[in-house]
Amino acid sequence: MPLLIGLILFSLSRTGVLREERIKSFSLSLLFPFQKAFSYVYGKIYSFFEDYLLLLDVKKENERLKRELERLKIENALLREEKREAERLRRLLEFKEAVKFKVVAARLIGESPDPQSKTFYIDKGSLDGIKKGMAVITPDGIVGKVLLTGPKSSLVLPIIERGASLSIMLEDSGAKGILEGQGGRCLLRYLPQEEPIREGERILTTGLDGVYPKGFLVGSVRRIIKRQGALFIEAEVEPSVRFDRLEEVMVIKER
């Protein structure tokens, strides 16, 4: 269309119908809408690409900030774990210095391949003086005993495993019973019916089983079970050791 208008104006100027000034004025007035439309479209296209490039920059910056945030999260998690490990080692060291027994510190290195078993392996064995039947403890209480030994590692039977048992007593009354592992939990058995017992009461080792020293914390009474006609009281026991968070232990070598 602008080309056609230009040809018409050129023809009129050659024939003298329109003067040059009027032609210029007339052509400007005719072309103005097209120029305005072109400027508008150009402005929109320029603005679109400018916004697009800006969005690309923002996206790149967001990706960079996201990667930086992930890096900081990992560093923060590592620092927290280092702090927790330092605290655990400090408690173990203080406990080791406080107990009167000769102990060897060990770290958990694996669990039993049997999903039904709660046994686990530690990184100390016969070369470190570890023997079958030695008691395994932490500052929180009794863990279990050594079940098998190898040159550089040992298998530990925790008190929550089936087949584990130890002689215990109630802290308040001194009444004695047997604690048995039930596969993830503990059950207090053979406590005479007439003996007083309360929920929350602490349970300690008696030292009569020849494995665990006397007076070590085992756990606390969670729920009392009284059966009609039964000769003994039973109770569910909450172990004092958090086995799901266990990482370091100590093996008692000499008492």
pLDDT (tens digit per residue) in 15-46: 554 455 555 555 555 555 655 555 666 566 76
Residue 11 inside a domain? The answer is: yes
Structure confidence at residue 221 (pLDDT)? 95
CATH classification of the domain holding 179: 2.40.10.350
Q: What are phi and psi of 192, to 5 degrees?
A: -55, 145
In the structure, what pLDDT confidence band is assigned to residue 211 with cuts at 50, 70 and 90? very high
pLDDT band at residue 102 using 50, 70 and 90 as cut-offs: confident
Q: pLDDT grade, residue 230 (50/70/90)? A: confident
Q: Is residue 125 part of a domain?
A: no
* Verdict on whether the full-model pTM lies above 0.85: no
Boundary of a domain, candidates 15, 30, 51: 51
Residue 7: pLDDT over 70 = no
Nearest Cα neighbor of 118 from 185, 205, 179 is: 185
Domain boundary among 51, 68, 83: 51
pLDDT of residue 67: 77
Q: What is the pLDDT of residue 66?
A: 79
DSSP-assigned beta bridge partners for residue 144: 136, 158
Q: What is the mean pLDDT of residues 54-80?
A: 73
* Span of 70-79, 96-105, 131-140 with lowest mean pLDDT: 70-79
Euclidean distance between CA atoms 102 and 100, whole angstroms:
7
Q: What is the pLDDT of residue 57?
A: 74
In this prediction, what percent of the chain has a pLDDT beyond 90?
45
Residues of the domain holding 224 = 165-245
CA dist 44 to 2, 36, 50, 58, Å? 22, 12, 10, 21
* Mean pLDDT rounded to a whole number for the chain: 81
Q: What is the pLDDT of residue 200?
A: 94
Which of 36-40, 90-94, 95-99, 121-125 is the most confident on average?
121-125
> Cβ atoms within 10 A of the Cβ of 185, count?
14
What DSSP string runs through 95-155?
HHHHSSSEEEEEEEEEE-SSTT---EEES--GGGT--TT-EEEETTEEEEEEEEE-SS-EE
| CA distances in angstroms from 120 to 67, 106, 248, listed in the order given | 38, 12, 12
Is it the case that residue 47 has pLDDT exceeding 80? Answer: no
Report how many domains make up the chain.
2
Q: Is residue 64 part of a domain?
A: no
**Residue 12 counted as domain residue:** yes
Handedness of CA 91, 92, 93, 98 (dihedral sign): positive
Q: What is the pLDDT of residue 48?
A: 65
Decide if 19 is inside a domain.
yes
Q: Which whole-number Å values give the CA distances from 31 to 17, 26, 37, 49, in the listed order?
A: 20, 9, 10, 27
Question: Is 112 part of any domain?
Answer: no
State yes or no: pLDDT of 139 exceeds 80. yes
206, part of any domain: yes
The CA distances from residue 219 to 21, 57, 81, 89, 234, in Å, are 108, 59, 26, 22, 15
Q: Is the pLDDT of residue 249 over 80?
A: yes
Measured in residues, the chain has a length of 255
The two three-digit tokens of residue 249, written as one number: 């232990």
The larger pLDDT score, comparing residue 181 to residue 93, is at 181
**Is the confidence at residue 11, as pLDDT, over 90?**
no
| Structure confidence at residue 69 (pLDDT) | 76
129, two tokens = 């003086």
Residue 110 lies in a domain: no
3-state SS assignment for residue 196: coil
